[in-house]
Amino acid sequence: DAKTTQPTSMDCAEGRAANLPCNHSTISGNEYVYWYRQIHSQGPQYIIHGLKNNETNEMASLIITEDRKSSTLILPHATLRDTAVYYCIVRALSGGGADGLTFGKGTHLIIQP
């Protein structure tokens, strides 16, 4: 799996958009970008994933650069409950295989009231 680089920590004001960057310059053509988050003392939670097009769901938006070497997760209106460690992971889609996720250090996002 391609390696990712994320800032160690970030702050964001409540109600503002939180933009979390991720670099994955060695991503392969068949690898997707996944985002998970882990709220303190809970299991990781899936947020969103994408290949090359921008994606949006009820939780977040994912913006992937045209060269696919970096991406940004956007939480449009951050709340205190969004304080968590956010993991950016790149890997090939599972279908047919069962490899687990390899977690990096992630970004600790702190939402300030």
Q: Is 98 in the site for other proteins (CB under 8 A)?
A: yes
Q: Is 10 in the site for other proteins (CB under 8 A)?
A: no
Contacts of 36 (CB under 8 A, 6+ apart): 44, 45, 46, 47, 86, 87, 89, 101, 103
Contacts of 98 (CB under 8 A, 6+ apart): none
Q: Is 23 in the site for other proteins (CB under 8 A)?
A: no
Pick from 18, 27, 34, 64: which binds other proteins (CB under 8 A)? 34
> Residue 62 corresponds to which tokens in the numbers above?
């994912």
Q: What are phi and psi of 76, to 5 degrees?
A: -65, -35
Compute the distance between CA of residue 50 and CA of residue 46 in angstroms, rounded to an integer: 12
Q: Is 106 in the site for other proteins (CB under 8 A)?
A: yes
Pick from 5, 28, 56, 94: which binds other proteins (CB under 8 A)? 94
Looking at the Cβ atoms of 14 and 92, the one nearer to other proteins is 92
Pick from 32, 63, 74, 110: which binds other proteins (CB under 8 A)? 32
Q: Report the interface residues with other proteins, using CB under 8 A.
A: 32, 34, 36, 38, 41-46, 49, 87, 91, 93-98, 100-106
